[in-house]
Structure formats: structure tokens, C-alpha cells
Amino acid sequence: MSSRPDLFQRIAVQREQRVAEGRVRVRRLVARRDGMRVELDGRWLTEFAGNDYLGLSQQFEAVNALQDSAARDGTGAGASHLVSGHHAQHHALEQELAEWLEYPAALLFGSGYMANLAVQQALLGEDDVCVQDRLNHASLIDASRLAGCRLRRYPHLDPEGAMRQLKQSPDGVAMLATDGVFSMDGDVAPLRSLSLVARMQQALLYVDDAHGVGVRGPHGRGSVADARMGVNEVPLQLVTLGKALGGYGAAVVGEAALIRHLAETSRPYIYTTALPPAQAAATRVAIRQARRDQWRRDKLNASIARFRQRAQRAGLQLMASDTPIQPVLCGSDASAVALSDALQSAGLLVPAIRPPTVPEGKARLRVTLSALHSEAEVDALVDTLARSWEAIQKRERLQRLEQEVA
């Protein structure tokens, strides 16, 4: 009788490999947070690592709404939406999201990951196809696996590639799915061209705009509105509540019949507890702030421009991004980790992003900017980046020379 593989031995070997490749992921323990400053291991660092793009996560009106609602409604919803957990705060939040983004309806989810799983699981089956940008978020890829549909991927930002993939899959329902703003590169999908492709191929265009809503478009309505499109061109889009809006959770906004179908059939919606009503109350305040406070986007965009101008002048290798996500390419995993460590020693928190999150040879620092960053903090980041990168490159050149001599 054959013996089964030893699971613990397998995971031990896999961990050894991650250690050897320098790809072990470590959680950082944040003791306290104050604006763009975080306390780690007893040290206060200036953070360029999160997604609080508008600085709303600690905004006092949103915090007050959270506290007031928790005191009145409790700490949790107590049940799923379809049992007894759908609270008046949830209903009001869905209405405000739909009105803000100019969509007929909205549906709340516990996270963007769950929302993406829900959309494809509820709409696609094994005879259908989902065509996706190669650099889409992992949740969109995993969603196709859950749905059991055929997954086809096209080269990054390539509408013609999307067209080819759709033409090669003429049978069944077709969905064309893309990030609005790509989370690791910070660039923006060519939504108008993709909309044309979707219309020509009778595919439903679905946009995950987790990093665009709040930041881009008129009144922060996101990448779809920035492209001068709406529900007719993009029948469904994902809105995260945990990035520019500073809270937690997500929603899908879309055509009313599609949203109703998701509510009635999507497993990640039916079989999970609803968001805490207090969180919904805080997000409602954050939406009003995001809509009203254009100064937050203006300040954020000024910081993005300042960072790019100074970084390019310093010779740092940036990517084509005009969003708060500003990758600094390092090449090797070791160089990215060394640069991140040097910045942390200087009081700056910037994460190193390595494969498999990004392609091989494309390790980077993922700098993220917020409306709360000051000009002095942006300047300090660029100056420290430039000095540290120069020192790392000098050290690597010396090591190569020593190896050649040896």
C-alpha cells in the first residue's frame, strides 16, 4: 500500500525554499498609528506603505460615527444579510454608494476579494470565459477558478490582445475583467478601448477599481467616471471601502438586475456575516468627505508630481504611473530588500515587493502617497532613496569585482 506524502515535510521544504530565495513574508506589528506615522518595535516611522490615499482612516467625523453607531448598534451585524444581518446602515451605505458613483444599485461585501469571487461565481459557469489582463489582482484570477470558467489572459494594457482572446472563445457567456488602477504598477487600464472590445465581442466589462475610486475622476468617482463612462459601458464595477475611503469592506455597483442576481445567488454574499453596522456608518461619513474635499485629491496629486519630478531627477527608475502607487524598480529581490531595510533604518516604512507578486526580475519598492504626506516628508523620502540606492549599487559593484578577482 502506497503511503501519502507528509504534509508537514512538504511545507517545511517550501519554507526552506522561500528562505533561500529571500521571499519570506513577515507581518509587521503596528503598535500605534498617527496619520502617516506608525510605531513599530518602539520606533516611529513615516509610512509610505498603506492605501489610505485621502487620509480618511482616522478622520475625526468618521471615527465619531463609528463610535456612536457601535454604542447604539453593537460591534457586529450578528447574521448574514439574507438572514437578519442587513441593517439600516448597510441599506443607507448601498444607496449612497450608488448615488455617488451614478449607478442604479450597490451590494456590500466583506472584502474586495470576496466581491470578486462573488461576481464570477454568480455569473459564469464551465461553458463561459473570463478574459483578463495579465496583471490583474489575484482575487480576479482566483474568481475564475471558483467559477470553473475558462480563464484567458492578455498582455498588460493590450486591448487588441483582449480582442484576440475573446475571438478565440466564441461560445458561452464572456466577461472582460480588468483592474482600473493596477495595484503593483500603478498604471491605469485603457477602459474606453476595452469597452469597445467588450461591445464588439458581446462581453460584459467588469472593472475592479479598488485603487481608483476616491482618487480619480470627478468628485473621486473613480477610473470609470474618469474615462467618461458609466453603467452602459461598464455594467459592473468593484468599489473597495478600505483604501481611499479608509475603512473596511467593499461593494459591487452595477445594473439593477445584475446586482439583484448577485444578492440572490453569490455564495460569498449568502454565506457570510454582514459588515458591522458601525463600519457602514463610518464609511458613509468617509464618502461624504471624499466627495466634498477636493483639496485632498489636489494635495495628493501635488505630492505625486513632486515625488516623480524629484525621483527622476535623482536617477531613480520609476514606472509610468500618475496614481498614488509609485513603484521604484530595483531588479533583484536582494536589492529591493536592502533598499527597504535602509529606508526603515532612516525612519521610513516602504515595503519591498518581490515575486510572485510581481514578475521575476521586477522586484521593487512600492511607494504609496497620501493627502496627509507633507512636502518635507516627500522630499526626505526621495533624498533617502537616492542616497541608499547609490550606496547599495556601489556595494554590489564591489562585490562583483571581488568575485571576479577571486
Q: Which residue type sits at 209?
A: D
Identify the domain containing residue 240 by its residue range: 60-292
Same domain, residue pair 275 and 305: no
Tens digits of residue pLDDT in 64-102 = 999 999 999 999 999 999 999 999 999 999 999 999 999
Q: Flag whether 7 is in a domain.
A: no
Q: In Å, how far are 115, 195, 233 from 201, measured between CA atoms?
A: 25, 10, 13
Rounded CA separation 305/312 (Å): 11
Rounded CA separation 170/60 (Å): 52
Cβ atoms 120, 94 nearer than 8 A: no
Same domain, residue pair 206 and 229: yes
Which of 245, 150, 249 lies closest to 203 in space, CA to CA? Answer: 150
Per-residue pLDDT at 22: 78
Mean pLDDT of 222-235: 98
Per-residue pLDDT at 21: 82
Q: Flag whether 184 is in a domain.
A: yes
Q: Taking 80 as the threshold, does the pLDDT of residue 195 lie above it?
A: yes
Q: Flag whether 137 is in a domain.
A: yes
Find how far residue 185's CA is from the centre of its chain. Answer: 11
Per-residue pLDDT at 139: 97
Same domain, residue pair 189 and 142: yes
Tens digits of residue pLDDT in 335-366 = 999 999 999 999 999 999 998 889 888 999 99
Same domain, residue pair 108 and 241: yes
Least confident window among 131-135, 161-165, 246-250, 391-395: 391-395
Pairing of β 30-34 and β 37-40: antiparallel
Tens digits of residue pLDDT in 277-309 = 999 999 999 999 999 999 999 999 999 999 999
Mean pLDDT of 122-141: 97
Q: Flag whether 13 is in a domain.
A: no
Of 261, 292, 323, the one marking the end of a domain is 292
Q: Give the three-state DSSP class for 112.
A: helix
Same domain, residue pair 50 and 73: no
Provide the annotated binding site.
Answer: 25, 112-113, 137, 183, 211, 240, 357
DSSP count for the chain of H helices, then E strands: 14, 14
φ, ψ (nearest 5 deg) of residue 167? -65, -30
Same domain, residue pair 258 and 305: no
331: cell is: 531588479
Rounded CA separation 7/260 (Å): 42
Same domain, residue pair 183 and 318: no
**Could you tell me the pTM of the whole model?**
0.94
Which of 220, 218, 227, 221 lies closest to 190 in space, CA to CA? Answer: 227
Annotate 165-198 with b (16+ C-beta within 10 A) or e (fewer).
Answer: bbeebeeeebbbbbbbbbbbbbbbbbbebbbebb
Same domain, residue pair 133 and 236: yes
Provide the annotated binding site for pyridoxal 5'-phosphate.
Answer: 112-113, 183, 211, 240
Number of domains in the chain: 2
Cite the beta strand spans of 309-351 per DSSP E: 325-331, 348-349
Of 265, 292, 319, the one marking the end of a domain is 292
362: cell is: 521586477
Rounded CA separation 349/291 (Å): 29
Q: Flag whether 12 is in a domain.
A: no
Q: Flag whether 47 is in a domain.
A: yes
- What is the DSSP track for 128-168? -EEEEETT--HHHHHHHHHHT-EEEEE-TT-HHHHHHHHHT
CATH number at 255 reads 3.40.640.10
Rounded CA separation 170/168 (Å): 6
Cβ atoms 190, 29 nearer than 8 A: no
Mean pLDDT of 117-143: 97
Cβ atoms 276, 72 nearer than 8 A: no
Same domain, residue pair 155 and 299: no
Establish how many alpha carbons lie within 13 A of residue 22's alpha carbon, considering only the half-sphere containing its beta carbon.
12
Tens digits of residue pLDDT in 210-225 = 999 999 999 999 999 9
Same domain, residue pair 76 and 136: yes
Provide the annotated binding site for substrate.
Answer: 25, 137, 357
Q: Taking 90 as the threshold, does the pLDDT of residue 48 lie above it?
A: yes
Rounded CA separation 159/195 (Å): 9
Per-residue pLDDT at 228: 98
| Banded model confidence at residue 396, pLDDT cuts 50, 70, 90 | confident
Q: Flag whether 102 is in a domain.
A: yes
Q: Flag whether 32 is in a domain.
A: yes
Q: Taking 70 as the threshold, does the pLDDT of residue 1 lie above it?
A: no
Which of 99, 117, 101 lies closest to 109 in space, CA to CA? Answer: 117
Helix axes 60-73, 277-292, angle to 10 degrees: 160
Pairing of β 204-208 and β 174-179: parallel
Cβ atoms 51, 211 nearer than 8 A: yes
CATH number at 327 reads 3.90.1150.10
Same domain, residue pair 185 and 334: no
Of 292, 307, 328, the one marking the end of a domain is 292
DSSP for residue 84: I
CB atoms within 10 A of CB 31: 11
Q: Taking 80 as the threshold, does the pLDDT of residue 404 lie above it?
A: no
Same domain, residue pair 80 and 218: yes
- What is the DSSP track for 347-388? TEE--EE-TTSS-TT-EEEEEE--TT--HHHHHHHHHHHHHH
Mean pLDDT of 20-26: 82
